Amino acid sequence: MFNSLITNFFCFDASRVIDSSGLGRELRCLVCTTTIHFHQVTPKGGIFVASEIVEDCSSRDPLLDIDSLDSSSGVKSDEYLELQVRVLRLTFLLTIFSVGIAGFFLGAGVSVSLLIGALSGIFYFRLLARGVEKLGTSRKIVGKVQLLVPVLLVLASSRFPQLHLIPALLGFLLYKPALIIQFLSMP
């Protein structure tokens, strides 16, 4: 008596199940080995099982390779760097524009305070961007170190009378118009 049973075994390789953008790709990732089992009942009552590996997923899709995934995520994180660069460039332009106008109309003291505030705002944004960059990789929460920047700015303005408080705070908030412009220009 001879029975033939075809069984597909799904070999789950967890290290490869990373890119789940499409279901088909994920399924192709999961089906690593297809095995055909022949069950044959011997005359003495025993069961003889013959296995044959028909298809092995040794030639993997390069998109599923973990090294190529790492390199593609590196390419995608360049997008994040580009966003930062765009925001910082826009903030620099706004800083130059506002410092020039303040220096022309309100005097050098206000202009210098505005410039110091704007530079501290850029530093704050850079620290925040670094915290967001580390989120999920080396840290589970975004750090609060960047909040020390406005604290130090207000303390410095209270300590040094040459540094005006209101222009410094307005300069510190100059990164926000750049963020709004960037947010509106996002597709």
Partner 1 sequence: MDSITTAASVVAAGLAVGLGAIGPGIGQGSAAQGAVEGIARQPEAEGKIRGTLLLSFAFMESLTIYGLVVALVLLFANPFAG
Helix then strand then coil, % of the chain, to nearest 5: 60, 15, 25
Long-range contacts of 67-70 (CB under 8 A, 24+ apart): 69/18, 69/19
Q: 33: burial class by Cβ within 10 Å (0-12, 13-18, 19+)?
A: middle
Both tokens of residue 172? 């510190």
What angle separates helix 175-185 from helix 108-134, to the nearest 10 degrees? 50
When asked if residue 128 is in the footprint of partner 1 (CB under 8 A), the reply is yes
* 58, 136, 138, 185: residue in contact with partner 1 (rule CB under 8 A): 136
Among the residue ranges 29-37, 92-100, 103-111, 135-143, the one whose residues contact partner 1 (CB under 8 A) = 135-143
Segment 51-90, which members bind partner 1 (CB under 8 A)? 69, 72-73, 76-80, 83-84
Of 114 and 169, CB closest to partner 1: 169
| Residues found near partner 1 in the complex (CB under 8 A) | 18-21, 69, 72-73, 76-80, 83-84, 125, 128-129, 132-133, 135-136, 141-142, 146-147, 150-151, 154-155, 157-158, 165, 169, 173, 175-176, 179, 182-183, 186
